[in-house]
């Protein structure tokens, strides 16, 4: 597979696309075959000027609900087969009717075809940070990239700019047009939010550097088990477990315990929720297992001991509504006793509720 280089930032306007195009120009000057697969100008004159002399691969026009949309033409790039392709906005969701749902999936196709890719993204689009980003910004980011995709990168470059300098650029009209800049100031572009996102980006970049410097043949000492239920907070639990596993370089399992014959015996809404959560775990490259047992605590403990699990993550059940998986409030205590020397962590649901606050 070819090499992926990710240019990472923490907000629009820090200079990710500018850096990508600068690198493209430098590579072309060095005699490399470089094309622009997708570029989003945002009416930024200095950035647009950096495209001069670089070859554009025309976009594909897709009609959806009576309107025309332009997306990256992956097939055209494959046919052109450059040495290096510049692709802006890595987390972008393609319009329905596209061959793939996400632009990062298109990029994986290019990489598998032997085309190096330089791309851009912001830290808030990393899946495992989704809950943390919502906490610091009050905004739920819908377009996310699985953490395993980020780990495919041969190199991650963080483009830094202080929040004060970024807000100054915003006020000067460098980032957005005046009306859009005003709305941004009132929402995402608040200095405390930008500072928190910048800190997340700095920490993530440092973590990725540490991972790349670590010896790759060291066996993981930690193994993590995430208990999957139908509870809505399971998604946050899976993100938390995946992130801890990444930091510890640990193996990770998502385990669901079902009574009777399994999924088909569950009520439709519960079955759909469980399947959705298992699919989400698979998307994050977590090994999923379904156990059939009348006693979930004993089944999880037995699985944990058999598979040398060192940490178990559970959703903290709501007082007024205990999921069928944890039919009794003593479930966690019973699991702790059965698991003996294994660390058990109960993760509270911090998702804002309608009518709260």
What is the per-residue pLDDT across 165-212, written as a single tens digit (0 to 9) for each? 999 999 998 898 888 888 888 888 999 999 999 999 998 888 777 766
| Domains by residue range for the chain, with CATH | 4-213 (3.40.50.300), 223-347 (3.40.50.620)
What is the per-residue pLDDT across 125-171, written as a single tens digit (0 to 9) for each? 999 898 889 888 888 898 999 999 998 999 999 999 999 999 999 99
What local confidence, expressed as pLDDT, does residue 266 receive? 84
> Range with the lowest mean pLDDT among 244-248, 337-341, 353-357?
353-357
Give 177: exposed, middle or buried? Use CB within 10 Å, 0-12, 13-18, 19+. Answer: exposed
Q: Is the pLDDT of residue 215 over 80?
A: no
Nearest CA among 307, 316, 318 for reference residue 344: 316
Q: Is the pLDDT of residue 256 over 90?
A: yes
What local confidence, expressed as pLDDT, does residue 284 receive? 93
Label residue 261 by pLDDT band (50, 70, 90).
low
Is the pTM higher than 0.85? The answer reads no
Distance CA 309, CA 316 (A): 20
What local confidence, expressed as pLDDT, does residue 354 receive? 46
What local confidence, expressed as pLDDT, does residue 350 receive? 62
What local confidence, expressed as pLDDT, does residue 326 receive? 44
Long-range contacts of 62-68 (CB under 8 A, 24+ apart): 62/95, 62/97, 62/98, 63/97, 64/95, 64/96, 64/97
Q: What is the mean pLDDT of residues 266-272?
A: 89
């Amino acid at each position: 597979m070819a090499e992926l280089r990710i240019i990472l930032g923490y907000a629009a306007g820090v200079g990710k696309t500018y850096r990508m195009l600068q690198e493209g120009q430098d590579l072309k000057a060095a005699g490399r075959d470089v094309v622009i697969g997708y570029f989003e100008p945002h009416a930024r004159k200095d950035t647009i000027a950096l495209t001069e002399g670089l070859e554009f691969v025309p976009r594909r026009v897709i009609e959806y609900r009576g309107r025309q949309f332009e997306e990256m033409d992956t097939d055209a790039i494959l046919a052109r087969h450059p040495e290096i392709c510049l692709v802006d906005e890595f987390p972008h969701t393609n319009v329905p009717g596209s061959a793939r749902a996400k632009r990062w999936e298109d990029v994986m196709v290019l990489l598998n075809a032997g085309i190096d890719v330089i791309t851009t993204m912001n830290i808030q689009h990393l899946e495992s940070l989704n809950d943390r980003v919502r906490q610091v910004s009050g905004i739920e980011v819908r377009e996310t990239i699985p953490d395993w995709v980020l780990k495919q990168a041969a190199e991650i470059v963080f483009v830094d700019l202080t929040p004060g300098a970024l807000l100054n650029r915003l006020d000067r009209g460098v980032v957005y047009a005046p009306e859009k800049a005003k709305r941004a100031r009132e929402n995402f572009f608040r200095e405390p939010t930008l500072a928190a996102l910048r800190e997340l980006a700095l920490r993530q970049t440092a973590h990725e550097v540490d991972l790349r410097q670590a010896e790759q043949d060291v066996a993981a000492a930690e193994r993590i088990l995430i208990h999957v239920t139908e509870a809505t907070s399971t998604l946050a639990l899976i993100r938390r477990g995946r992130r801890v596993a990444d930091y510890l370089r640990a193996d990770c399992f998502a385990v669901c315990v079902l009574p009777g014959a399994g999924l088909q015996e569950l009520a439709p809404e519960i079955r759909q929720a469980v399947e959705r959560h298992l699919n989400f775990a698979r998307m994050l490259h977590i090994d999923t297992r379904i156990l059939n047992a009348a006693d979930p605590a004993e089944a999880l403990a037995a699985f944990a001991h058999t598979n040398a699990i060192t940490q178990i993550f559970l959703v903290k059940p709501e007082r007024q509504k205990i999921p069928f998986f944890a039919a009794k409030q003593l479930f966690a205590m019973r699991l702790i006793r059965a698991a003996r020397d294994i660390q058990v962590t109960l993760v509270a649901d911090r998702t804002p509720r309608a009518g709260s606050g």
